[in-house]
Chains A and B, each alone.
Chain A
């Protein structure tokens, strides 16, 4: 779990601002961390599914597409890590 006390906050700033920065740092690390592609890809996948669901006729078919999009996202992220490791 991300530690807000390790947020990059200078001691000279007001306490309220430091707490706000630490809070934002915590959520940044929690949601994005070192895998921004997972957050952006997840939002994009949900966005695509939401757009398709505007048409009521395809709402059940989208139930098969959504997991495929998520699996593709996971696979892409893993292969990005593999390439970085080379």
Chain B
């Protein structure tokens, strides 16, 4: 559909996202009590993380089909190729690029704001997010093919574990919990939730196994069928 409109849509979304961080971050830090911030942002991280972790567990256990990003990408390209392209500016290209960058970037903004505000260091959180984007971009260019072999569900499970752990820690601090070891409680929480997650995957796989290969699995629309129950737990051990 042309690069110009897509770049313009992506750039507009990035400017809007940066404005959100700049406008909301300092206001939250200055006007809202720290305990309230920790409770709210911790609660948001906790709920968000539990959703990610639940889906990752169901995918690892074989009850939910894993995403086939290549198939999803091919389907989206096919659909977009069929609508007419504008002569000067392509509004469809602009909107699709804007929507994609803004919605996905909003997740980053939420994480940056919650981490930065809860630790009273918004600048560091924003810089870390920017560095992550740059590192991922460079690494992605160099090892794109090898990276595509990294199990997506394993990455999502790791992110879910971090979000749930930080969410538990900060929401607890917000309501007055005195964590044993203070900040050292965070890696302990990560380890604890990691063990719980592993146990859940193993237990669900065993519970589903007697009913036959893939018999209990249900797929997301357009996604491939779930893996058979006899698959080794490569992603859990990895």
Docked pose: A59 CA to B171 CA in angstroms: 13
Check if B168 sits within 8 Å of A70, measured CB to CB: yes
**B54-A82 in contact (CB<8A):** no
Cβ A63 vs Cβ B51 within 8 A? no
Q: Is the CB of B176 within 8 A of A31?
A: no
CB contact list, B156-178 vs A, under 8 A: 164, 168, 171-172, 175-178
Nearest CB on A from B119, distance (A): 19
Q: Is B53 an interface residue (CB 8 A)?
A: yes
B218 within 8 A of A: yes
B187-201 near A? 1/0 per residue, CB < 8 Å = 001001100110010
0/1 per residue, A30-62, Cβ < 8 Å to B? 110101001100110010011001000001101
Interchain nearest-CB distance for A70 vs B (Å): 6
* Contacting residues, chain B, for A35 (C-beta < 8 A): 50-51, 54
Inter-subunit contact A74/B175 (CB<8 Å): no
Given A50-B176, A66-B177, A85-B217: A71 touches B50 (CB 8 Å cut-off): no
Interchain CB contact under 8 A, A1 and B107: yes
* Chain B residue at minimum C-beta to C-beta distance from A39: B47
Task: Report how many A-B pairs have Cβ atoms within 8 Å.
Answer: 106
Which of B23-31, B98-106, B127-135, B146-154 is near enough to bind chain A?
A: B98-106
A26 to chain B, nearest CB (A): 9
Pairwise interchain contact B172-A63, C-beta atoms closer than 8 A: yes
Assembled-state Cα–Cα distance A64/B177 (Å)? 10
* Interface range, A side: 20 to 34
Q: Contact residue range for chain B?
A: 35 or more
Q: Do A71 and B172 touch (CB < 8 A)?
A: no
On whether the beta carbons of B54 and A67 are closer than 8 Å, the reply is no
- Taken residue by residue from 67 to 86, chain A's Cβ proximity to chain B (1 for < 8 Å, 0 otherwise) reads as 10011011101100110011
- Knowing A78-B58, A78-B204, say if A63 contacts B192 (CB, 8 Å): no
Partner of B218, one of A63, A71, A78, A85: A85
Given A62-B177, A63-B180: 10 more A-B contacts, CB < 8 Å: A31-B44, A33-B51, A46-B171, A53-B177, A74-B57, A74-B164, A77-B50, A78-B200, A81-B58, A85-B218
List residues of B whose CB falls within 8 A of some A CB: 39, 43-44, 46-48, 50-51, 53-54, 57-58, 63-64, 99, 103-104, 106-107, 164, 168, 171-172, 175-180, 185, 189, 192-193, 196-197, 200, 204, 207-208, 211, 216-218
14 CB < 8 A contacts A-B: A1-B103, A3-B103, A35-B50, A42-B47, A53-B177, A67-B189, A67-B192, A70-B168, A74-B196, A77-B50, A78-B54, A81-B54, A82-B208, A85-B63
